[in-house]
């Protein structure tokens, strides 16, 4: 196993790692500075787009010419050619203490993204589904910080973390309707050292990878929720993970340069970097595009 700094852009809050198989390009975001980044699998040809506000996640659109963004004030489109950003719908208009956060696309092209309390203290957030017809539907609520949405390889189990609950949850996921049911505890997260479950992905073997933010660790969980592997990272504030590269065998890891609240720890000189982990012997699953 080899860990390298792929791109050192010192993202204030790096998040949303996403490998697009069709373009063979890697995307990630700076949530606090409002930027979307793109590069090749080996960190070349770095490009950036500005968006008007904090951003939680993106999904590449079906035509590849733009993205869906979960911004602090709702779902938006981003045109890669012009840089234009347009509002689709704000499901939490009037909730000034909330913003949209982490999101992913299901096998039918729907974008699932959750919101969060910006002070990370109250269960004021919810989980939303943006359909290809641009309609928005609430599918769960009572969430403090939405993180780590991802699916089992067959798309029938949806994994999700409310970071400060101390758990990663599993739901039954109906691919025909895009609804969730039967929420249960997938695994309990060790929060004794001040860490929490952040962004996540699922590999081709059905194991869940989760970033242990603030404790410098990545966890690989077996389908039964037991810890299969722990990787120690060179920075504490690792935020999310996604497999990519030509063979889908590089694990990309985002990180933050500055903690969002004073109670969280500082970090070393590599803080905010985009990391790439090689030679794991494991492959990921292609991320679907948003279906409109």
Query: Which residues participate in catalysis according to the annotation?
Result: 198
**How many of the other CB atoms lie within 10 Å of CB of 118?**
19
- Report, as an integer, the average pLDDT of 73-101: 95
Tokens of 286: 């292609």
> What is the rounded CA–CA span in Å between residue 101 and residue 72?
8
Query: Which residues have a Cβ under 8 Å from the Cβ of 124 and sit 6 or more positions away?
Result: 95, 97, 98, 115, 117, 143, 144
Q: Where are the beta strands (DSSP E) in 167-286?
A: 167-174, 179-188, 196-202, 208-213, 217-221, 227-232, 238-244, 250-255, 274-278
> What is the rounded CA–CA span in Å between residue 98 and residue 117?
5
Banded pLDDT at 266 (limits 50, 70, 90): confident
Of 219, 213, 248, give the one whose Cα is nearest residue 231: 219
Residue 289 marked ligand-binding: no
Of 213, 208, 204, give the one whose Cα is nearest residue 224: 208
Phi/psi for 163 (5° steps) reads -50, -40
8 Å CB contact between 211 and 199? yes
Of 161, 169, 172, give the one whose Cα is nearest residue 186: 169
Topology (CATH) of 2-278: Neuraminidase (2.120.10)
Residue 98 marked ligand-binding: no
Q: Return the pLDDT at 38.
A: 98
Q: Return the pLDDT at 292.
A: 64
Q: Exposure of 262 by Cβ count < 10 A (0-12 exposed, 13-18 middle, 19+ buried)?
A: exposed
Banded pLDDT at 191 (limits 50, 70, 90): confident
Residue 65 marked ligand-binding: no
8 Å CB contact between 153 and 160? no
Q: What is the DSSP string of 129-154?
A: EE-TTS-EEEEEEEESBEEEEEE-TT
Residue 99 marked ligand-binding: yes
pLDDT at 179 over 70: yes
pLDDT at 261 over 80: no
Residue 147 marked ligand-binding: yes
- Which 8-state DSSP code applies to residue 258? S
């Amino acid at each position: 196993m080899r860990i390298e700094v792929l791109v050192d852009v010192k993202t204030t809050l790096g998040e949303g790692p996403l490998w697009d198989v069709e373009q063979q390009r890697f995307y990630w975001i700076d949530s606090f500075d409002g930027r979307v980044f793109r590069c090749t699998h080996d960190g070349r040809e770095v490009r950036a787009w500005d968006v008007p506000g904090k951003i939680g996640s993106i999904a590449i659109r079906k035509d590849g010419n733009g993205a869906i963004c979960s911004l602090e004030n709702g779902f938006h489109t981003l045109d890669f050619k012009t840089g234009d950003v347009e509002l689709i719908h704000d499901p939490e208009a009037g909730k000034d203490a909330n913003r949209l956060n982490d999101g992913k696309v299901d096998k039918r092209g729907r974008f699932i993204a959750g919101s969060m309390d910006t002070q990370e203290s109250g269960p004021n957030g919810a989980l939303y589904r943006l359909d290809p017809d641009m309609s928005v539907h609430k599918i769960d609520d009572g969430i403090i910080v939405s993180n780590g949405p991802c699916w089992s390889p067959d798309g029938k189990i949806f994994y999700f973390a409310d970071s400060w609950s101390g758990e990663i949850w599993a739901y039954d996921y109906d691919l025909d309707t895009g609804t969730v049911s039967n929420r249960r505890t997938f695994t309990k997260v060790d929060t004794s050292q001040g860490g929490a479950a952040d962004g996540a992905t699922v590999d081709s073997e059905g194991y869940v990878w989760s970033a242990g933010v603030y404790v410098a660790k990545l966890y690989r969980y077996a389908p039964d929720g037991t810890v299969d592997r722990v990787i120690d990272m060179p920075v504490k504030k690792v935020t999310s993970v996604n497999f990519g590269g030509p063979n889908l065998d590089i694990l990309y890891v985002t990180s933050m340069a500055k903690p969002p609240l004073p109670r969280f720890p500082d970090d070393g000189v590599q803080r905010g970097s985009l990391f790439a982990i090689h030679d794991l012997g494991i492959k990921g699953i292609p991320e679907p595009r948003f279906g409109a």
